[in-house]
Amino acid sequence: MFTKSLLRFLALFMVVSAPSISAQISKGSSGVGLILGANQQYSESRLTPFAFGAGAFYSRNLSDRFNLLLEGGYNELAIKVGNPLKKYSTNLIYFDLLAGYDLMQHAHFRPFLHGGIGAFNFKMIGSTNSDRYFDGEFILGGGMRWHFNNNLALRITGDFKYTTGDGLDGNIQGGNTVMDSYFTVRGGMSYYFGGHNSGLDEEYFSGNVEVEDLPEGGDLSQVDQKQNDTVDGLFAQLSDLDNIETTGASAKEQEYERLKMRLESLKGSIDSKETEIYSLQNSMVKNEEKNGELLLIDNNYSQELVNDISSFSMSYEAALNKFYHKQYQDAIDRFQALMVKYPDHALSSNCEYWVGECYFHAADFTRALVSFERVVTIEQSLKKDDALLMMGRSYKELGQADAATEILNRLLKEFPDSEHLQEARELL
């Protein structure tokens, strides 16, 4: 009820206000503006507070509805992890190219959609050095403009930006289950200038009457009648469209229902087959691990591999990709080479954790415990709760139920806000 009332109010407001100054809100062919707002990161971390963002843009009209916009600016992003919670932040410089489409014309209020691509330069969260990296992003969003006059407008936008990497948060939460993304909310003023390319159909919606539009006798009543006839014609066209949409609907109803039932039947069969295939794949992986076919070697990395590392972030992501593709030996080599190259890095303990994960998935639970125990003993480690959970699972696999219970209870006690509490309780 409230939503309907609000929509009615907005519609009434636009109808009442538009005739008075709609002729004045024509947008120029180009525009510039400044925007301020906030950003929120979306990644493996659950706690992502809002952070500051600002930018400037230049836009160019291509037609009544389409425009291109080049935007650049400065963004900050932040996450909170650990126990107690510790805030990590980063900053990035971005440049985006957006294509926009106005959803409404002939009014002060201009809602729009836009999308595009961009690039940014950033410093990885949690990094102890000053290295900066480049990444790309895809943008989808929209917003609104409220035009005060020919030249000035209020602009508000909301965008979702999907990046092509997982380096923004430095994988602090562990793992690139999703590529990093972030949301932006912006507000600011736009100034338009240049040639007339407004998309405002002033011939029909202007409150002013041009001299050349007057009849020879100068009778304004004839102009009013002409405008009324135009409006009546528009309503007649809308009525015709409604009739077209409803005509023949009953004749197609039975055929539509038959096809719908057939489609649902096929979908059910496909879902059943996919479930069966997934179960068989899981069974094969478990059998391979239990048979001990995955024999891994510790400290197998070469000095050449260590020397070839030029970026922690890129090498860390490459090692994680090896892990997710079940190339556990390659993953171990890369993680251990990273620990040698960057022994004091904030994510060094993350590398040790993933070494343990590799051994766990290769069914070498004793060696996995060694890595997880090392992670737990590192004071500044951000993976302690993850390591405790995996220690509990490892002890379970080794048949040491008492040790598993002790470790899992420790996880519940020391990390009451951990995302692994539910799984730990299930294991108990």
Residue 339: Cβ within 10 Å count: 18
Cβ-proximal residues to 63 (8 Å cutoff; 6+ apart), any chain: 197, 199
Does the model's pTM come out above 0.85?
A: no
Phi, psi of 96 (to 5 degrees): -125, 145
At residue 15, the pLDDT reads 40
pLDDT tens, residue by residue, 34-74: 999 999 988 766 678 889 999 999 999 888 788 999 999 99
**Token pair in block for residue 313:** 């972030």
Q: Is 183 exposed, middle or buried (0-12, 13-18, 19+ CB in 10 A)?
A: middle
Q: Residues 165, 317: contact at Cβ < 8 Å?
A: yes
Closest CA to 71 of 120, 112, 25, 113: 120
97-136: pLDDT as tens digits: 999 999 876 557 889 999 999 999 988 766 667 778 899 9
* Spatial separation of the C-alpha atoms in residues 399 and 411, rounded to whole Å: 19
- pLDDT value of residue 84: 76
Regions in the chain scoring below 50 on pLDDT: 1-4, 6-7, 9-27, 196-224, 226-228, 230-231, 234-235, 237-238, 241-242, 244-247, 288-293
pLDDT for res 6: 43
Instruction: Give the number of C-alpha atoms closer than 13 A to the C-alpha of residue 381, restricted to the C-beta side.
Output: 23
Dmax over Cα atoms in the chain, in whole Å? 104
**Do residues 167 and 313 touch, judged by C-beta distance below 8 A?**
yes
The residue to which tokens 């843009």 are assigned: 57
Query: What residues contact residue 367 under an 8 Å CB cut-off, 6+ apart?
Result: 296, 298, 359
pLDDT at 355: 93
Three-state SS at 140: strand
Q: Rounded to the nearest 10 degrees, what angle do helices 312-324 and 348-361 cross at?
A: 10
In the block, tokens 């590529």 appear at: 179
Task: Provide the pLDDT for residue 90.
Answer: 82
182: its two tokens: 């972030």
- What kind and span of H or E run contains 90? strand 86-102
Can you name the residues that pair with 74 across neighbouring β-strands?
A: 54, 93
pLDDT score for 231: 43
